[in-house]
Each structure stands twice: as structure tokens, then as C-alpha cells.
Copies of this chain bind each other. A is one copy, B any other.
Amino acid sequence: MIKQYLLSPGPTAVPEQVLLRMASPMIHHRTPQFSAIFAETRSMLQEIHKTTSDTLMLACSGSGAMEAAVMNICTPGDTMIYVNGGKFGERWGKIAAKHGIHAVEIKVAWGDAVTIEAVQSALSQNPEAKAVFVQASETSTTTEHPIKEIAALTKDMHCLTVVDAITALGVIDMPMDDWGLDIVISGSQKALMLPPGLATMGISKKAWGIIEVSKGCNTFYFDLLTERKNQQAGKDTTAWTPAASLIIGLNEVLKMMLAEGLDELYARHAILAEGARAGFNALGMKLVSSKPASSATGAFIPESVDGAAFVTYLRDTMGVTFAGGQDDLKGKIIRVAHLGYYDVFDVCITMSAVEIALNRFGYPVQMGVGVGAAQTVLAERFAKVAV
């Protein structure tokens, strides 16, 4: 027996009360019973997004919602701008290529955040661009991009800011209406603490205006106008068969998040990430990102250690699943999560496991140094309660 821990930046652990709720006897999705749950869930999603505009739930992964955004905004031949600072940023370009959309790439070194100047310059050179597509948190490099500032640039242009917030929704505050974010996409298996299979989208009034007049790309399944018609208040259903158990689970998850309080929720993620960074620093493991996100932390594995074997050993021998690196970072980094159903002792487990594994791989670190540094930060989380 080796006890298992899922501490990767998605999929993430599903809380017991959500698992139990999802294990309730299945109900039919074309009933008033399901519609009541759907309506309540939609309303809570709006609360999390801090928007009075629409939110949609789609039976697909986050990538499906990314493509849906591109296809509904852009028509083949249109111009779009995208930030490519990692594996997920790159995906916007791949989607655009499939649809014959002219995609202007803002290339960013892996681990860095895009600069506002670069976005400003791309917008000036491509005034016809329909939207800027960007990650709030680029999970492959654990980097946060300045989406608030990007949205401020497009706010008064005939151009949208579309945010892949798959590892950011529920991690950091992203008030859609205040910041002028136009489309904010998330996926169920991240901070929404669910199994994969459900995507969510917040869509601004400005975005609908552009979508309504856009010919768009050919799509039957991902027609957002059809979805809006079905998912709107009063209809409270979906165009096609919904991922019903995931929506029921999301209903439970959003209640948990609102019960915790959004400010508390964001503060928790921030301190957990800060604790992990302190731990890696104490172990002398350099961070991958110059602008680290709160969703996950990437750190370089010492060069003398076989990084791929290191992550595999942690998973298969020690029972702790993290993520390794992708593409150029393959075998070089470890990525550890902080998002969703994640708390202080998950950071402690992370640092303890990394310390044990480093020693096991012949890279001696003093046992307890990383976890101790993390604990010093994390203790703050309990400090509100008097002893």
C-alpha cells in the first residue's frame, strides 16, 4: 500500500461532499428539477465572474471552449492576436490555423509574462484584429499574464480580450465587468475541483455584440448563440445534452466557494503559492517563472538529477502525482499545484516529498529545510484564530 496524493495542476482532487453529490441518483436533464439546479449554478457562476452578463456551461474540456471562442468571434480570413508564452498560449495559434484565421503571435519567453508594450504594439500594427487571446495563468510555465491591463487596452477598441482562465478562475480575482474582460474560459478539473469534462465561459455584452454580427467559423456543436438562447434565464437548459453530473457537482463546488468567501478563497491560494515558493527557494530550486501564478509553482530540478525519472519516482514509488515540464522544459522542471481543494498540508506534503526524492536521487538536501521554510509562511493562514 502506498497512499496516493493528486497534487498536479489539474486534474485536482475532488472534495468528498462534491463526490457524494455527484454520486446522487441521476436525474433527467430535460426536467424542471435539473433546470432549477442549472439556473442556480449559472447565477453562482455570474457571481464568481462578477458579471451581469451571461455565463455558459459546455460539455467539453477547456480546449473546446477555447476553440468555441475563436470560432464564434473570428471568420476565416480575420485577424486575431494571441500571446504565446507556453504550451497553452501556443494552442490559440493552432486553433486559428485550423480555421484559416490570420493569427498574429506575440511570442514570450517561457517563464515570462507578456508585456503591455508588446500587446499595445500588436494592436497598433493590427487594428483590424477581432480579439486578443491570452492565458490568465499559463500553466505550462506557471506564469501569470497581466489580463487586467490587456483588457484596459481593448476596452474602447472594436476588439475583445479573451482569457483562458482555466487555471485561474477560483484562484485569483478577475472581475469581468470591472476589468472589461470579454470572454473568460474555465475547465472543471482545476480550481473548480471537479472531474474533467465541463467548460465554463463568461461572455460580456460587448463580446455578444461582436459574435452576433460575425459570420464566424462553421460549427454546429459550438454555436454560442444557440447555447445562449437555451441557457438563458427562463429556459435554463442546454442546446445539446449537458454533462449533467458535472453541472450538479459544479453547483456544490460554487456553494463551497461562496461559503468560503471569494476574498478568503483568493487569499488561500496566494498564501499556499507563497509557501511553496519559499520552500523551493530554501532548497535552492530556481522558479520557472519570473511572474509566478498562484495556481501552481514550477521549479527547476537540479541538473544532476534525471528530471523525468524524478517526477515518475515521486508518482509511482512515493504516491505523489505532480506534473513535469512540457516541450523545452521536459525533464527539467516539476510543477506543483495549489489550486482547488488544496490546503496548507498539501504544500507540506509537496516539500517533504521533494526533499525525500532529491536525497534519493543523490542530490543531498537537508531534510526539513524546504518544508520548514514553507511552514513559516503557511502558519499565517491559522493566525487569525486566537490561541
Contacts and interface: CB of A to CB of B under 8 A. Distances in A.
Contacts of A375: 352, 355-356, 367-368, 371
Interface string A1-35: 11101000000000000000001000000000000
Nearest to A377: B367
A260 interface: yes
Question: How many copies of this chain?
Answer: 2
Nearest to A379: B356
Interface in A321-369: 341-346, 348-349, 352-353, 355-356, 359-362, 366-369
Contacts of A349: 345, 348-349
Contacts of A379: 356, 359-360, 367
Nearest to A352: B348
Contacts of A341: 1, 3
A385 B317 contact: yes
A12 to B, nearest CB: 13
Interface residues of A, number: 49
A114 B35 CA distance: 66
A348 B5 CA distance: 13
A349 B375 CA distance: 11
Contact of A372 (B372, B376, B382, B387): B372
Given A371-B372, A372-B371, A343 B313 contact: no
Given A355-B372, A369-B372, 17 more contacts: A1-B264, A1-B265, A1-B343, A3-B342, A3-B345, A313-B382, A316-B385, A318-B344, A345-B353, A352-B371, A356-B378, A356-B379, A367-B371, A368-B368, A368-B369, A368-B375, A371-B372
